[in-house]
Amino acid sequence: MKRILTIFGIWLLPNAAQAGCASFLENPDDAPAYQICYGDACDLTTLDYACPNVTDYRAQYAIGWSVRCTITAGQDVGVRRYFWQDRPIDPAKYDFITITEVD
């Protein structure tokens, strides 16, 4: 089953306040697979690392995409930022980006 990775779902992970980083850089064969689409252009990739906690979430994917999200106490919605090879993507283009975990 495919699941769309949403920023809100990440904050619901159990023990997110104490969670450490999950890194697959040393064992890429164990990394979960993802499909990342920018408009109609889609690529299959794997997760390099993910670091969730109560104030932010960071994830890097093998093909160069990354996502960073921050949340401030008392706010229901976080601020997300997408990057391609460490270059920020214009926020006006965020609606064209989807990240879906591949089973």
Q: What confidence tens digit (pLDDT) does each residue in 19-60 have?
A: 588 999 998 889 999 999 999 999 999 999 999 887 888 999
Highest mean pLDDT among 18-27, 55-64, 74-83: 55-64
Determine how many CB atoms are found less than 10 A away from the CB of residue 21.
11
Nearest to 101 by CA among 39, 54, 31: 31
Q: In this model, does residue 15 exceed pLDDT 60?
A: no
Counting DSSP H helices and E strands in the chain, the numbers are 1, 9
In the chain, the percentage of residues whose pLDDT exceeds 70 is 79
Name the average pLDDT for the chain.
82
Cα separations (Å) of 69 from 27, 28, 77? 25, 24, 10
Say what the pTM is: 0.74
CA distance linking residue 1 with residue 43, whole number of Å: 18
